[in-house]
Structure 1
């Protein structure tokens, strides 16, 4: 018998039912958490870099973390939604190679799951001000963390189970585009895990190559061949993703986030962040709250 351990768990942020109008109109949204929508009335649109999907009754949609997307409702949209963070033992993501919006036909079970999620997690909707003086205080995310800590074991496990069931709906082989499974050398695979766990430290190509007893040039070529990008690019991508997560879930200053993510200084952090996300850190942080408060 093959034993498989679950490496991923989820942390609930919000769950609610909302009726949206033309105010729900956002472009270039990118968040460190997942979104799953169930539409029961009206229509809208959601798009990413590759496709535009119609939001319509009877369908489920997922927006994986760190997926750039646009959200739009011209008239009216009835929407169940849940937002949650993903945690894993090695820092990896289920959708690391599938940062795309996905759509699948919903079932009665899906609707019942949303109903149960709302029942066991009361008060988890978004009813906040969009005043910057309010949302810049990080009250919003602090409250979600406290609510999770207050859950009893039964509610916690049931919430985990429901989030897993809803997420699993999009991991169907017919829907989920699994990357080609190429055999990755053990030294490269181990290096990927090492990077994710040690983003806060000084990571250089020379140091990473030395760990696995390889020449830096050879190591760099092997890394790109099996990951599609060079080591320093990969490191910066993961550091910015970690920074996005910390900006959304903590009260850390930008200087503290730099230290936690391994950036040498604020200037380099801001430059790299904008290059990879298309916006400055301050604009990104404001956007997270604005999209949440005006859901």
Structure 2
């Protein structure tokens, strides 16, 4: 699976150097942005769905967006952090398409890159490390707006540094879905760029000159899920991003994503996330 670098547009929400003394302890954190850490000194632990990872100096760590995790720290711990948001309007999505390793050993130059990020983005550090103070709807909207108003030369250098850091992880990344059939790959690309529409499966099938049953079997063989499940999955992921980063009503989010039946949108959202869209928004707003 290839990657079009020109379509990757990461934005930073926060960047800084954090020093802790047994006070980096947070439970059940689940954010709409990815986290990148470089450990300077001390140790801590992060609990991810695949197990417990010890954070050690000289290593970098990646926590994907929408990944529930907990942090454990019982001693001195110093680390750089970067919170990365990927533009939802991009035609490619690095974090969506590729599974990054959680941990990689740094090669010696990364600490300088993190320090430079902090130097050129002094207003993007966190006042507090408690996720509830920054991982909420109003703060995310404010941070996204702020990042877009940074001078162009700063944004350009920032983007270059972020891509350098991500490249270290990308060396070891593997495709989440390794689609070999060009027809299915094109359908996946079509779905991604038409999420804000009602996607008609019959029209897709007709354009491929395939029977509907054969297309569904082929799609599931290549991706592991049916076409409609994939479409709904991507729409709900987009809905989560919109609810977290835009001041749009839940009903308008449903309409924007092509759900003409609001009740159906609620059911699909709850099935995918475990909560209704309103409850999801409420959780984001409760600590503002």
CA distance in 1, matches of 2:286, 2:167: 29
TM-score (norm 2): 0.85
Quote how far apart the aligned CAs of 1:90 are.
5.5
- 1:231 is aligned, of 219, 227, 238, to 227
CA contact (8 A) 1:129 1:135 kept: no
CA distance in 2, matches of 1:129, 1:167: 23
CA distance in 1, matches of 2:61, 2:269: 27
Q: Deviations over 1:79-98 (max 9, x none)?
A: 21001112377533223354
Q: How does 1:70-85 map to 2 (within 5 A)?
A: 70-85=70-85
Report the number of matched residues.
284
CA contact (8 A) 2:110 2:165 kept: yes
SS state at 1:66 partner? coil
Query: Which consecutive unaligned segments of at least 5 residues does structure 2 have?
Result: none
Q: How does 1:184-263 map to 2 (within 5 A)?
A: 184=181, 186-263=182-259
CA distance in 1, matches of 2:63, 2:262: 30
**2:145 corresponds to 1:170:** no
CA distance in 1, matches of 2:84, 2:216: 35
Gap change, CA 1:176 and 1:190, over 3 Å in 2:
closer
Quote how far apart the aligned CAs of 1:286 are.
5.3
TM-score (norm 1): 0.83
Indicate the residue corresponding to 2:38 in structure 1. 38
Quote how far apart the aligned CAs of 1:41 are.
2.7
CA distance in 2, matches of 1:131, 1:160: 24
Indicate the residue corresponding to 1:24 in structure 2. 25
Cα-Cα RMSD: 3.1
Gap change, CA 1:80 and 1:244, over 3 Å in 2:
same
